[in-house]
Structure 1
Amino acid sequence: MNHSFVIKLICKNVTSFIPLDNFVIQREVRIKKLTMEALLKAVKNGNMKEAKEEIALMTSVYNTLIDIPVREGETVTTAYTVLQNAVLNRHITVVKLLLDGGCYSNPILSYQKLDSTPLYIATSKKFFEISEMLLSKGASVIERHYQTGLTPLHLAAEKRDYRLLLLMLKYCQNINVTDNKDRTLFEVFIKKAQDSSIDYDPVRFIEVFEKLISKGADLCWKNKSKQTVLHLSIILEDKSLFCKLISMSKLKQLITEVDIEGNTILHSLLKSTLGNSLSSNEENNVDIFFKLVEKRIPIDISNNKQETLAHLAAKNKHFKILNIILNRSNDVNAWDQTENTVLHYLLNYADTLSDSLTEVWKKLVMIILSKQGKIDIKNKEGNSPLHIAAKSKNLDILFTMIKDGVGNISVADGAGNNILHLFLLKESVDHHIIKRLLAQGLKINAANTNGNTALHLAAEKNSYKLIVILSEFKPLVTLRNSSGDTPLHTLLKARSIDMDCVEWFLSMGASVDTPNHHMETPLQLAIYGIHSHNSIDTQKYIKACLEFLKRSENVDTHKSKDGYTAFQYLFIGDTIEENVLLPVVVSMIDKGAKESLSNSSLFNMVCKKKYLKIMLLLLKNDIAVKSSERNGNVLHYLSEFDNGDFETMKLIIEICMQRGCDINLKNKFGLTPFHLACEKGCLNAAKALMVNKANIHCTTEEKVTPLHSVVTSMNIEIANLLFKYGADPNARQYDDRTPLHLAVYHKDSTLIKLLFDNFAEINHVDRYGKTALHWACSFDNIEVAMSLISFGADITIRDASGKTPYDIAIQFTTSPLHKLIANCKLALLCSKHSQINVNPDIQQDLEACKREKDNLKRKMIDRHTSVFDLCHADENKLCIYSNNLTLKEILQKSDLMKRDFPMFRALIYSKFFKGKQRRQLLEMAAASLQCMVKKNIPDLCSDKIFVTLSNKDLLNVVRANSMIISKKRKIRQDDGKSKKRCI
């Protein structure tokens, strides 16, 4: 191998190869290498003056520029390297000097794997002037880039640089050269024309296109979608380009080509927006399409989606073009992939066209009908042209299609609806149209997929006029839909009913006892309607029920899926007025609803609705009554009637007891009917139960008596009734609380006074050691506390935590309650002459209390007794003075008492009421004992006597009234127990 270098000397006009000695060659290379490096540095730094000087120096000294072959792995700065950098930095002057100096514009073989060629760089940067210089010096347009594989020619096409591309085509000899992907220039040029990111120049495009054709470019090119250049011109939406292309004789063979989707250029044309301009009012545009049709393109050919030209023209509103197609087409009933015909697409625009287009549209429809266009072909959605027309507002075309079209006018859509069903399903139905459709021969009893006939749909509309129109064509009233509903069922399920419709169905023989799949008969559905919130509708459904009952064979024949009869359904749902239901109940009983009457659950339903008259009516007709169940019996429901008639309730309770109902039966909560009546405050119910000997002393597991329940409801009338019958005012429940404790909790002063008047123990303590006054202080209720203190509540009692009412009251610093109790306490201490260590904070109040005590001592009731004496008198003495006129007169002057005795006032009132209560008790005891002497012991008063009076007290009463009683005589307590006591 010869390792010597070869120096190529290039002069301005002469090129020669000079073999030299190795030493001379190496010396020359070193010198010129340094010169080239200085030139390259000047070019890179943009120092044009220095660059020009270096080039001038090289050409003057050597009269040549050097291009040195480079071995693999070596890098040598050459004139070609400088040229590349000059082009890259757009130094036009340097490029010109280098090219004029003889620098190669193309790389020699050793440079193939180096960088881009100068022309490739200029093309990528769109440097037209430099590219022009390079091309004039013989730069290759077909040299491939070592990385991208593109030639400058392909690159110019990629950049869509039409000006440069035209320039390159002048110097290109092989127009069909390919890049590394085997793409021709024509292919790249056509593909890049579709790139919307680059501006499209139609004039330049045509110019390049014609140049390519003149250079012999292969026009049979197709892209991956098998689209030709004609398809591409449509995609570019360039009308002038398209017209020019189809006029070229060389492209005639492409007119009938189809793409990968089977589209001819006519298919593509009608799909694109370019087709819109072709279908405009300009006649020459229609002529273009006409000329294409004349070029032997099959008019009925379909693409892969089975779309013909007629489909696309109709779908995209190209009505003029569609007119051309229809006049040449032999098959107007062809359907596409979605099974739509041309008529389907045309009818979709029935309501959206302008007046001018509507006339054209009608003519097209008439052309299709005249060519035996079928009106019953269904698309994939199940709609035929008839259905689409029926859904539009253009009814003239509908009846024209029915008259002139080919096919079954009763065709059903995907939901099974024919056009008659569609009109009946609309919100507003035109009765005239329904009559016209039926006159055309549509089947009146045809059913859709839900099984609904025209009569079902008319019944759902609740339109008597519509039903009358249908009746002229003999509809069947017995047909059932998929739910088993007859038209009468459907009518009764509507929001409202027309009694004329009901009477029509009954006159046509509709059955009122036929059940649907939910086991609902028309009678049951009418009963559902009774519970409508609209009172007018309720009355209509009542009338319907009465009419149905006249025709029903047995009201108990069918039960619903939940097991209820029609009779029971009367009492399921919203509660309505009892008098409204009464006629229906009477009619049902007359029809012999034996099964319903034998079911005890019916009576329970009526009880829950609180229908007293119906209950009594059912009881008189021997309805079954369940004597007991987990929730109690019917008397428990009855006890909650808050406004029931007393006499009626009394009679119902008597009959229920005769049927085995226990008046004292406890429900799962341990409550008797009387408990519930007291708890709910139902006075008449309580009276009716007491008259029927309900136990007023019964208790729950928590020892709650009816009196406790009455206090909860705060019903004074029932409480008075209970005391009249001897209820214990001091009965204790599970936590040792008496009714008085509960009355304090409910803050009812009236009820507290009633309890006190009936000898309630005012100082009774509960499980927590609290009296009623403790609880009143806990609730910071001064009114209740004052009542309790006035009735003799002890303010010194301590609860389980060691607190007095005063200790509890002082927690409320802003309340006057603690002041009230503090004054009462001072008054009590002074009345007992107690010596205590007084808090300095209340020393002033204590002194005021002593002054008030002295005034009380001077206030005399009689010659020997002052008002102050009553403050520490025992119960017997208080009893004597309870009727003292002087004392009563003093107490009646409330303003005087409040002014003169603010601290002792509550204590004085308390003592007075205590004495009065004691006197009433003794008088009651005397009356009771008098009755006992006569051997007529009353049960009602004995409880109060035994609770309050001891044997000693009773003996005093006997002596005071000069009674003679055997010591063996016993007095029974009326508390439901057998306990007795001797006196």
Structure 2
Amino acid sequence: LGVLSTPRPPLVQAIFNRDVEEVRSLLNQKENINVLDQERRTPLHAAAYIGDVAILELLILSGESQGPPKSGLHPELAGRKALHVLLKHQADVNARDKHWQTPLHVAAANRATKCVEALVPLLSTVNVADRTGRTALHHAVHSGHLEMVNLLLNKGASPSTCDKKDRQPLHWAAFLGHLEVLKLLVARGADVTCKDRRGYTLLHTAAAGGQIEVVRHLLRLGVEIDEPNSFGNTALHIACYMGQDAVANELVNVGANVNQPNEKGFTPLHFAAVSTNGALCLEILVNNGADVNFQSKEGKSPLHMAAIHGRFTRSQILIQNGSEIDCADKYGNTPLHVAARYGHELLISTLMTNGADTARRGIHDMFPLHLAVLFGFSDCCRKLLSSGQLYSIVSSLSNEHVLSAGFDINTPDSLGRTCLHAAASGGNVECLNLLLSSGADLRRKDKFGRTPLHYAAANGSYQCAVTLVTAGAAVNEPDGKGCSALHYAAASDTYRRAEVPCGGSEEEPLKESRLKEAFFCLEFLLDNGADPSLRDKQGYTAVHYAAAYGNRQNLELLLEMSFNCLEDVESSVPVSPLHLAAYNGHCEALKALAETLVNLDVRDHKGRTALYLATERGASECVQVLTSHGASALVKERKRKWTPLHAAAANGNTDSLHLLIDSGERADITDVMDIHGQTPLMLAIMNGHVDCVHLLLDKGSTADAADKRGRTALHRGAVTGCQDCVAALLEHDAFALCRDWRGRTPLHLASARGHLPALRSLLRAALATDPLDAGVDYSGFSPMHWASYSGHEDCLELLLEHNPFAYLEGNPFTPLHCAVINNQEGTAEMLVEALGAKIVNSRDAKGRTPLHAAAFADNVRALQLLLRHQAQVDSADRLGRTPLMVASESGHSAALEFLLFQAKANITVLDVNKNTALHLACSKGHEKCALLILGETQDLGLINASNSALQMPLHIAARNGLASVVQALLSRGATVLAVDEEGHTPALACAPNKDVADCLALILSTMKPFPPKDALGSFSLGLLTNCGIAAKAAALPHGSSCPYSPERPGAIGLDGCYPE
């Protein structure tokens, strides 16, 4: 529980003083028995903590007894009496502190058995958990109090209950070495093989705690000795990592696998090699056959692990027991590379003494020396240079090299960097001097064309730069990108990052020191001939780099040195320093430039000024600097003609927008328009930036300004549905009925997008403005049309409540037409239920009903809905077409099938061109629809019906290549010799055009006469069979009359083909 927070309530203070009389006195004075301290602990918690059962009972039995408390009160009797008094005085035995611990938790943790005996009868369960999921039994086991554990178990505590990490009381007993408690728990049913959430067994936890007796007992119980946890670690791994040598020895002696790898391939020996206290564990493992050369999945051997932390003694043991000196991991690094990287000089000596190869290539083909100098370990550098440099033994007789070893100090890595490059990058001048004195080539370039001086300058290393220049390095030597050392020095603070603790006290002083050193480096280069006017291959000078990376001191120095070429500095080719500083938000660098340069409105290739970029990026401090130095807020970029105000409003940068408006450049600055006529207010609303909207309106932006399409800010508010924006505009008297180039008001757009709150506000404003406005656009569509078409039921409901007969105004293509044609069943049903038959059978300008629209959209459910409400299934439009004919022509088989089979639509209706539904299906090539119609009829009158062009369905089906339809027509007795108005039979209708048909007719007319009837019959049947369309239906009776095809000259039926 810890010390209770001060100030303590008087009752809690009396309890901690163990002053029973004072406690009784306070209770008699009606002191709040459930008072909470700052940690939300009650007096019951305090009494349980100090373990004073007398005070605890006094609190529970407050007010019942005037005599001295009886500390030996029997629990059951106490429970019966306490329960009544507790309810009467409301002493809360279930009170929880901020850790959710009850008085029972506190008493169990502090071995207060008498208190527990007094509390348990008043509780519904002893298994209540605290914030971490631990019960009173967890706390009792943690304390190791056998009597308390036994008491709780007897009172119903579950021995296998888990906390939020799935740890059971057994885990705590094993970890803390409470052997007797562990035995008791096991005897009461706890599972000795239990695991927590991360797979830790009791053996793992006992090994971690170094509890040798618990380990032995668990082993006697038969637990699995090599059971891995979720990370693959066995108990031996854990013992070695924690440095528990006695446990490790016990596990090894009873047969633990010393070479079992975990999920990353590390064995217990790897853990022993790296652990702070693992030296004895390592000896035990090595002496018991552990593989000293076992490599992890990354290729690291135990010797690699020892090298990371410089475990000198352990590395010697490993080497003496056969560890491979030059074993390489998957990056190519040997233990010598690792020791050099972490600066362990003594270990380097040991490895080199035992034959480690100093010329072995590691990561990026680096030598160990690369790594030592890169991380600034001069002692390691000295050691590697003294013993590892290339040497040769020359024969005195033959004058030839007979032996050579070591490495060439100028050997590059895979990126062309020598050890001198690495030392310059590391910034340790001692390492640099050692390399130079050993013959390192300071003019050597890497694959990017960079010399060591480039690296020293990039890291702002003044001393290294001085050393290299003094030794003869060329200060104006360009690299592959055309950058000199001065370019890198100008941006040096970006490249160099010191490793300091996050939020540490040394961060600011260290940063200041780094900045000073970088400045001295730049100054030194300039003093020694570095040319500030040099440009890289992209055209950037050192001034550009300093501006881009925000180093004001460097920038001021470079500007001073570039005073004679300020025109080049101000140039926007490719980008001016002003733009770079503004884009990256470097206000200090921007201030230095603004105080030096004359023109702050220079534009880049897209026409953007520095102020535009700063505003777009939300760098309000940069905006303030530029506006205070006279930068214009009205310069437009080239593509969209946006000003900085447009950019600020579109991106929601309120602070920047405020600064731009307050610059006072023009009275109507807030109403400046872009190429589309949009004001900043419109852009702020389109992107939902409410703060910018309020600011612009308060600063005088015109609420009803329209763009080139007549759309205002209110139109945009309706589209986005931003209620706050719409409300702000209406508060500033925006006109709710303003119309765009198509006559649409904001109400139309809000209805189309389904923004109910905005629509409600706009409707209210529209009624207040002009209650007689019809509210239709230039196409005659009202907001109700758009809400119905888009399926926004809530908006439609509001509009119907407002004016249910609005559909009578404007376009006769009603909202119901709109709903069914766009498959919006919800709005269609609302309209039908609200308006009934009046709208169900309404007609548009072409005489089409909503049923026509549903058929056109193949909307079967809408067809069902409309027919349930007395829609006329055979109503014809002005072209004489019924919904069935519309479905046929559109090829909508589902709608056609419903109208045919369920609605029983008339298939014999003719349109103004005497086309039937079958004609229309064939004319559009809708084979399935044609077959559905034919499946419903055997009527020759329909099959041979001709339209105004004297074409039968057979003509049209043949012309469109509908083989299955032709087959069905022929099987039902379709006339094959009937001619259309051009004199063509169905056979000639197959010709691609009239000329081809005429030619085919001429050819047929000169052919030999037909063979006899029987021969012709067999011939024609064979032809039909070969064509795949042989008639399968029974012969139809001849002579039936056709009401759709009146007799005409030249029309010959099948009966007239063959004379008797």
* Larger Rg belongs to: 1
What is the TM-score normalised by the length of structure 1?
0.37
Which structure has more RCO (C-alpha within 8 Å, separation ≥ 6)? Answer: 1
What's the TM-score once normalised by structure 2's chain length? 0.35
